[in-house]
Amino acid sequence: MGIVTVGSENSAPIELYYEDQGSGPAVVLLSGWPLDSRSWEPQVHQLLEAGHRVIAIDRRGFGQSSHPLGGYDFDTLAADLDKVLTEIDVHEATLVGFSLGTGEVARYIGTYGTNRLKACVFIESLAPSFVKSTDNPNGVDQAGVDGVREAILADRPAWLTGLLADFLNLDDYLGHRVSEETVRSLWGAGNDASPWATWACVVTWLDDFAEDIDRIDIPTLILHGTADRILSIDGQGRRLHAALPDAKYVEIEGGPHVMCVTHAPEVNRELLTFLRETADVVAAA
């Protein structure tokens, strides 16, 4: 484990927790909201076995990182990520984001470029934009954001139970692809998050990443589940692929939002294949 100080609030430092395990080509994992790095458990073992250095980061407000009141915007979250990568001096890394973490991937590249990276991965992407529009009728608007924030304030634990039902498509997969114990574990991770951070991050759904993804100049993998009830495949995965036509694009049949858990074998297969392919490209260069 490690700690990087990224700022301060009143009398306390703002510290980010990360785990840095293994050796070999670096893979940096950025989790989705309102979860933390524990949600990558189905991927970490496979990545380590394949000979990768795995760096999993808890963003501010979540997991074992500090829980400040400020900084829940993508500019600050990307700056936090840059400080971690600079502090531990990571190079030639593959940056992997899931859901809200894809916003951090996009904004990090849009702001800091790709000097430290050799590839990036978007799993259930917010980019190019989650905002409701004619191109994205399943997106979110200000009223939708306000409704989610009100539900969090009204009864966050109960709201979290309903959220996980849609994250995991439990009506289809409970007892088949996901156990009750795993659901409880994910609920615990979400419940452990800062209530303020959980509420504050919802506003980031209205960000636009068009300018950020224009700066992506490294091999890119886009993975999206066909049954995602949160970020629709038409509005998100397919639109991102249209914006990045040279990216490798894979649809996981039946994959819900948290398909890294329910469809871990399929996700791991595609992720490890992409990592091998990019390693071959770098070696040839």
Largest Cα–Cα separation, the chain = 56
- Spatial strand order of the sheet with 220-225 comes to 2-9, 12-21, 53-57, 26-30, 93-99, 117-125, 220-225, 248-252
Q: Print burial letters for 125-140: b (CB count within 10 Å at least 16), e (below 16).
A: bbbbbbbbeeebeebb
Measure the CA–CA gap between 64 and 57, rounded to whole angstroms. 9
Which DSSP string do the residues of 129-148 spell out, in sequence order? B-B--SS-TTSB-HHHHHHH
Among 52, 241, 257, 263, the active-site one is 257
Among 228, 232, 241, 263, the active-site one is 228
Q: How many CA atoms lie within 13 A of 49 on its CB side?
A: 9
Among 31, 37, 65, 99, the active-site one is 99
* 241 included as an active-site residue: no
* 228 included as an active-site residue: yes
* 217 included as an active-site residue: no
CA distances from 220 to 128, 178, 267 (A): 14, 28, 15
First to last CA, the chain: 33
Instruction: Please classify residue 81 by burial: count the beta carbons closer than 10 Å to its beta carbon, then call 0-12 exposed, 13-18 middle and 19+ buried.
Output: buried
Catalytic residues: 99, 228, 257
